[in-house]
Amino acid sequence: MKGISILGSTGSIGVSTLEVIRQNPERFKVKSLSAGSNIKVLKEQIQEFRPKFVSVLKQAHLKELKKLGLNFKVGYGEEGASEAATIAGVDMVVSAIVGAAGLLPTLSAIRAKKDLALANKESLVIAGSLVTKEVRKNKVKLLPIDSEHSAIFQVLRGSRKKDLKKLILTASGGPFLRRPLKTFESITPKEALNHPTWKMGQRITIDSATLMNKGFEVIEACWLFNVKVEDVDVLIHPGSTVHSMAEFIDGSIIAELGTTDMKGPIAYALGFPERLPSAKAPFNLAGKNLKFMKVNSRRYPCLGLAMDALKAGGTMPAVLNAADEVAVGAFLKGKLSFTGIAKTIEETLSLHKKKEVLDVQDVLEADTWARLEALKIIKKKKF
Ligand code: NAD
Ligand code: MG
């Protein structure tokens, strides 16, 4: 029986993880849950899965949980999330908090020698060197949940690193693949939240429409698979049938295919090295769209911003992520145009004086600086 901790249990990945656990009660036991402010869903999860420890974002939320009358320990804030990740009996932590807020609990999990099933790609984007160093030092398993990286992880098993030529990440292109560029200015949050192939949380859905998500995934791939940004290609693949690929020196390309259901990569990470009987809907390859296209960089400026931030290194990717979090938040509140997202991030990056990342404090300082700077840019109502 594997003891599981879920950070971000009420989110899209958290809920899908609990679905995989529900289908495999003989293999997994939920030991702890950590969530933000969705107390209604969290209470239902506690009643069903009976964790030993529960953490919420704010202390005020704990009152509601006490009303359940059940026996479990509680915590709150970042410390609470870290405690949820590190308690005895947890073998694997599913890191699925959204944004930079996921970094410290993720590092705590690794330092407590818990295996990590990582959905929170932001920890690798903003602090890839620190996270991978801790993974090596503490000899824990790092299993990607992001579907592209799960695909590549599966494809690379059994092949030699020196035979690899490049990684090819696929991107659906989001809802605006064919929308005339000159109308991008007027894109509304409702339109941008309407992803054609995947159902996800709000922030990653907007990041998928701008392709910032793919930019983050290029950075994530570089850290996970120890490759350079020049060795990662991105192809638009509107069907999202091929989840990603690896090309080898003999010209062969190996891909992983399946439904667009995150329960697939989650079950793979939870069960690793075993494969679990599928929790996903049946998949029929007949008639599926297998088209691939190059990325039009004018349509998706965020992808280039991410690649440049990775090449620049140091604190630049942390600034990229923080500015994006703020810009996406402002766009969702109607305070910034869709095209303003990339412009705000670009301007924030251009104002940043890069520092090397020696410890987590360097990352957190750059993150705080970038949030304030991005807010100032948005307040000036330039975009
Ligand atoms: P979501 O918004 O649906 O859920 C986020 C979860 O984190 C919620 O439980 C929320 O309560 C919690 N949370 C938010 N802020 C918090 C804080 N400060 N402290 C503690 N908990 C907090 O997001 P999601 O779509 O499930 O994505 C989660 C992570 O997984 C993101 O990093 C995302 O990039 C990644 N990811 C998601 C998908 C997907 O299909 N949804 C796919 C690949 C990767
Ligand atoms: Mg992905």
The alpha carbon of 322 is separated from its chain's Cα centroid by a whole number of angstroms, namely 14
Evaluate whether 122 touches 144 at the Cβ level (below 8 Å).
Answer: no
Same domain for 99 and 165? no
| pLDDT value at 92 more than 80 | yes
Question: Is 363 part of any domain?
Answer: yes
What are 69's two structure tokens? 């009358």
What is the maximum span of the chain, computed from C-alpha positions, in angstroms?
62
- Which residue, among 323, 317, 315, has the nearest Cα to 376 in the 3D structure? 323
* 267 is a domain residue: no
Q: Which ligand is nearest to the CA of 329?
A: 1
Residue 148 has pLDDT above 90, yes or no: yes
Quote the strand ranges of the chain, DSSP E: 2-7, 28-34, 53-56, 73-76, 92-95, 115-118, 142-144, 164-171, 232-236, 242-248, 253-257
User: What are 44-60's pLDDT values in tens digits?
Assistant: 999 999 999 999 999 99
* Per-residue pLDDT at 281: 74
Closest residue CA from atom 20 of ligand 1: 36
Among protein residues, the one with the nearest Cα to ligand 1's atom 27 is 98
Question: Is this prediction's pTM over 0.95?
Answer: yes
Q: Is the CB of 222 under 6 A from ligand 1?
A: no
Looking at the predicted structure, is the pLDDT value of residue 165 above 70?
yes
Residues 182 and 107 both lie in one domain: no
User: Final residue of a domain: which of 140, 175, 204?
Assistant: 140
Same domain, 359 and 225: no
- The parent domain of residue 196 ranges over 147-259+283-302
Task: Report whether 316 contacts 309 (CB < 8 A).
Answer: yes
> What is the number of domains present in the chain?
3
- Average pLDDT of the chain is 96
